[in-house]
Structure 1
Amino acid sequence: MAALVVLFNLKDESAREAYEKWAKTTDVPTASAMESVDSFKVFKMGNIMGTENPSPYQYCEVLEINDMGKLGEEVGSEAMKKVAAEFQEFADNPMFVISEQIA
């Protein structure tokens, strides 16, 4: 199983409520509808365990992918292009990390 992990901060701290609403009502439902996506979860990051230090990232998205090739095709759809453009309005230099489950 592969996963796409997206780590990011918001461009504007005041956009937190708008981003979280958009993630729940638009991003997750649209991306979850893709055949290549088995699950999609968004996490709000907290402190680094055992410290008072905040995570270097405010949010983490985790998409479990069943077919990376199919994902490449599906992200080119008009619906996903629209979602991606909206995401870029919120996210400041997001990092997209492809990962592979080993256990």
Structure 2
Amino acid sequence: MTTIVVLFNLKPGVNETDYQQWARETDLPTAGGLPSVDSFEILQSQGLLMSEDKPPYDYIEILKINDMDQFGKDVSSETMQKVAGEFQSFADNPLFIMTSKL
């Protein structure tokens, strides 16, 4: 199983409330409902452990993918292309990191 971790901040000028509403109403149910996705969650950074510094990223997405070939097909759909475009309008240079368990 592949886990995709997405690290990002919102673009300057993006309203955080607008992003969070879109994430709850559109991104989570749409991407989380793909056949290739076992689970999808979006986390908001709260701080750095034992530090007063600001975390480098405000949001972290974690997607558990059961089949990467199917995931490629799923994200190619018209619906997911629309969702991906909307995500890009909110997220400032997101990093998509593919991971696997040791």
TM-score (normalised: structure 2): 0.95
Give the equivalent residue in structure 2 for 1:21.
21
Residue 72 of structure 2 is matched in structure 1 by 72
Displacement over 6 Å in runs of 4+: none
| Coordinate RMSD, CA, aligned | 1.0
2:86 counterpart of 1:83:
no
Deviation at 1:101, TM superposition (A): 1.9
Stretches of structure 2 that go unaligned for 5 or more consecutive residues are none
1:53 matches 2:45: no
The number of residue pairs the alignment matches comes to 102
Percent identical among aligned pairs is 47
Q: Tell me how far 1:12 sits from its aligned partner.
A: 2.6
Deviation readout 1:41-99 (Å, 9 max, x if unpaired): 00001211100111100100000110111101110000000000000000000000001
CA–CA distance in structure 1, aligned partners of residues 83 and 44 of structure 2 = 19
Please, which runs of 5 or more residues in structure 1 have no aligned partner?
none
What residue in structure 2 maps to residue 98 of structure 1? 98
Distance in 1 between the 2:13 and 2:56 partners?
A: 14
